[in-house]
Amino acid sequence: MSNKFWKSLLVITICVFWGIFWGINGFAQEKPFTFALLLVGPYNDHGWSQAHYEAGKALEQESHGKLKMIYIDKVNPADRPGITVPQLVDELVDQGAKLIFATSDDMKDGIREAALQHPDVYFVHISGDDVLQGKAPKNLSNLMGKMIYGKMMAGFMAGLVTKTGKIAYLGPLINDETRRLANSAYLGARYAWTKVLHKDPKKLKFSVNWIGFWFNIPGVTADPTQVTKNFFNSGYDVVISGIDTTEAIVVAKQFRNQGKQVWAIPYDYKKSCQEGGDVCLGVPYFNWKPGYKHFINAVLNKTWQQEWLWMPPYWQDINNKDRSPIGFIVGPTVNKKIKTALANFIEQLSSKQIQLFKGPLYYQDGSVFLRAGEIASDKKIWYSKQLLKGMQGPSSAK
């Protein structure tokens, strides 16, 4: 045989040998598992969407190449008029996404439709309840952090600090989710006002103003900057934000620079207090990392089962970045006395010494929400039909 033949055979042998060697020793890089996010706002909004984005990025970075995150942000009618969630899902699937997180209640119908169209792809709808309602295809689950506790903490801080007894809540649109969070903040404020400060409950004023969406859309929503200014100009000295962006803390800082003793509590994102410094009492925030990891592992390990997962804080350490879906960062200038009071409050929530969703509690129209001594189930809290008696502001958009 010719030398050319033997040289060719040698090259082939070497290639086969190294192919086997690389496979055995793990040098052959497996294709990473691709998961995707649909974000309702900008990925860098310093709020809800950025909290999702950073959680996904953290998991990607910690995986050492085993995970790949892709995303589409600004998924809302103002930024993407005429574009549907199923259309965006098609784009993500074309890019290799095997698991897609839809991160806004507004995506409920669209992500359900997309899940039906892509039965071999897994979907998690965040803040939805299709699984509870029996509407979800088998490849769709629901995830949410139990932010009712974070809002209780926010309300508690507001109730301790207010000098006027007038606390405002800057709300987004009106639905079960936003009502239960506003109710939670009110119950926390009322507890601080009446049980810690021992003040007359009739002298606590808690008002809710809804802007109409999760963030400002000029010409569509009320302007959250102006709404916050109106609160402060009307004698409210603490504004608790329920929207995705930072207007409340920014406006509070402007008023403080004018010599007004006002405070604000932002929402969603761990670093939100950086926007306001000494006007920030603290921030209840979402840490999506544990929830994302749960569902990613379920797909990778082939243990996926349909779930409605409403994850509580990790009470041993609510700011544990790997374990707690809900956290609370205390503002940078909050004094030791208030920090101690908050720590005690958190401990009592954890041990269930305090049950704020315990009757008697009434809705705004006087109907019974919880009978005397009744402790609300998760489902009853989830489907909050109205704001509670004692709160001011509309319970519906009608």
Cβ neighbours for 296, distance < 8 A, ≥ 6 positions apart: 33, 35, 59, 67, 99
Residues 78 and 188 in one domain: no
Q: Are 311 and 144 in contact (CB under 8 A)?
A: yes
pLDDT digit string, tens, across residues 247-293: 999 999 999 999 999 999 999 999 999 888 899 999 999 999 999 99
> Does 152 map to a domain?
yes
Residues 349 and 300 in one domain: no
Looking at residue 369, which CATH number applies to its domain? 3.40.50.2300
**Number of structural domains in the chain:** 2
Domain that holds residue 306: 33-145+289-311
> Does 25 map to a domain?
no
pLDDT digit string, tens, across residues 19-45: 433 333 333 347 999 999 999 999 999
pLDDT digit string, tens, across residues 296-329: 999 999 999 999 999 999 999 999 999 999 999 9
> Does 21 map to a domain?
no
Residue 116: alpha-carbon gap to chain centroid: 25
Cβ neighbours for 323, distance < 8 A, ≥ 6 positions apart: 290, 314, 317
> Does 17 map to a domain?
no
> Does 26 map to a domain?
no
Residues 218 and 357 in one domain: yes
> Does 170 map to a domain?
yes
Residues 115 and 203 in one domain: no
> Does 14 map to a domain?
no
Residues 125 and 163 in one domain: no
pLDDT of residue 30: 77
